[in-house]
Structure 1
Amino acid sequence: MADSVLFSGVVENEFLKEHKSFFEESNTLKQAYFLGAYCNGVIGQSYFSKISPKNITFKKWLSNQVINSTNLLKIHEKAYYFHRKLQLFGNRLEDLRTLLTRYTSDGKNPAKSKVSFAFSKGYCDYEIFKDKHPSKEDKNQNSEGEKNGQ
C-alpha cells in the first residue's frame, strides 16, 4: 500500500546514495537536507489546512530567508510553529520531523553554498518522493490525522 511508504524508509537508497560522501562531511548538511524536506511537507500541508485553508504564510516567510548553517534552527522553529499552529496531521510529516531531529550540529560550519544545496536537494527530493509514492495525505492532507486522532 502506497500510504505506508515513509520518506525515512526510502531516503538512503533512493536519494542520498549518489551523494553519500557529500553528506558525510557534516551533520549540518544532513540537518539542512532533512529540514528542506520538512519545509516542503509543511508548505504542502499548510495549503490544505482546515484551520486556515490555502495558507501560504510559511512559504512566503521561507522565500525571504538566507539558507545557511546559522539560520537552520530559526527555519526549523518556524516550520514547527506552523506545523502546530495549523494543526497539520499525518504520518509523513511526523516522519520528516523525526528524521530532522536525529541530526544535531557537530560544530562544523560548512560553506553556505553547501548548506543551501543540501536544503534545496532535500526540498526537491521530497517532492520527487511524493510523486513516486502518492498518498492520501498528499491529496487530502489532514483527513488521515483527524481519523487517527493525531
Structure 2
Amino acid sequence: SSFSEYPYPSMIKVGNFVSIKLTKANYPLWKAQMLSLISGQDMLAFIYGTVKAPPQSITVEEPRITRIIDNPEYLAWTRTEKLLKEWIIGSLSEECLAIVKDSYTARYVWTELAKSVNAHYQEAKTPLEKSEKTKETGMSTSTPNHMHEKMQ
C-alpha cells in the first residue's frame, strides 16, 4: 500500500462546493452538496466506515534488530480523516456545530448530524407536507367533525 491510498485534497475550498451552512431546516440540501464533494474526492468510505484505520505502529525487521515504528499508512489515513472532518465541521451553522463539537472522527460527525439534524428536519417538515398534500388533493388529512356526526 502507499500514501496515495488515502486522498488528501487539501487545496479544495469547501465553500466552492457547499454553498450553504447546515441548519436544522436545510439538511437534505446540505447533505446533497456534501456528498457530491466527498464522493468526487473518493472519500465516501471515511463517512460510511468502510475504510478502517490501519494499525498505528508496525514492526520492522532488520538484521539483528526488530523495531516498532509509526505506521506511515496510519499517518496518511489520519491526515485524510481529519481533513474530511474539517470540511464537515466548517460547513455547519453554530446550532449544528454545538451538536458535534466533541466528535473525534468524520464518520461520527456525519452519523450524529444524520441522527440529530435530519430527525429534527423530518419532524419540522411533517406538518407542512400534510398541509401541502391537503392543498393538492383538496381533501383534509383528518375527518372533519361534521363527517363524524353523519357517520354515526
Report the TM-score, using the length of structure 1 for normalisation. 0.30
Higher CA-based Rg: 2
Report the TM-score, using the length of structure 2 for normalisation. 0.30
- Greater RCO (Cα-Cα under 8 Å, separation 6 or more): 1
* Structure with higher helix content: 1
